Amino acid sequence: MRAIKNIKSCFVPLPIENVDTDQIIPARFLKATTKDGFGKNLFRDWRYENNDESKPKKGFVLNNPAYKGSILVAEKNFGCGSSREHAAWAILDYGFHAVVSSFFADIFKNNALNNGVLPVQVSEGFLQKIFAQEADAELAIDLEKQKITICNTGEEEAFEINAYKKTCLLNGYDDIDFLLSIKEDIEKFELVKTY
């Protein structure tokens, strides 16, 4: 997995609540057997008229050249619905390395963390401050210090992440590497489990 330390970038605002994983990557694109290439279909049906790449929807933020950067900022309950990890793969493949919201759906959060996409949970108030920024405003995310800053104003907020996951992200470790390293413990557990 790719490591994350600091991210400083402009952001793409998506002020919509309950963005579900069917919007992030519609089911018809889940037929691939690899993890690559999902970015071009990220938010497919919000991006294009009638599924036609030559007809981008003007009002949708990914089609607005004023907004760019590696941070996506969305309203609450981002990533709800289906457990499809393809949603995290699509976000990463498109070029986002962090998603900021006032809270995330549980499965999406795990999937993001398992792919080196940092979910940054901020207060509703701080989220609105971010949305109030101009298009070229930058955000700085410091994973080591667990802090997100609006660069123009200097306003900052701390965010939570458990210590284990933080170590994984800072070093690019996978959960699966860790689990394989404790296989003996798992085998012992199987012999003594009490049910």
- Which spans in the chain are helix H? 21-24, 44-47, 86-94, 106-113, 124-131, 163-171, 175-181, 183-192
Asked if 176 interacts with other proteins (CB under 8 A), we say yes
Does the protein bind other proteins through residue 82 (CB under 8 A)?
Answer: yes
Looking at 107, 120, 122, 130, which residue binds other proteins (CB under 8 A)? 107
Report yes or no: 122 and 76 within 8 Å, Cβ to Cβ. no
Question: Which residues make Cβ contacts (< 8 Å) with residue 154, sequence separation at least 6?
Answer: none
Q: Which residue in 54, 58, 183, 191 binds other proteins (CB under 8 A)?
A: 183
66/179 with CB nearer other proteins: 179
For residue 84, state whether it binds other proteins (rule: CB under 8 A): yes
Q: Which of residues 5-24 bind other proteins (CB under 8 A)?
A: 16-18, 20, 22-23
Q: Which is nearer to other proteins, 30 or 62 (CB)?
A: 30
Q: What are phi and psi of 109, to 5 degrees?
A: -60, -45
Q: Residue 109's CB: how many other CB atoms inside 10 A?
A: 20
Distance between CA atoms of 72 and 134, rounded to whole angstroms? 14
**Residues in contact with other proteins by the rule CB under 8 A:** 16-18, 20, 22-23, 26-28, 30-35, 45, 50-51, 75-77, 80-86, 88, 103, 105-107, 110-111, 114-115, 162-165, 174-176, 178-180, 182-183, 185-186, 189-190, 193-195
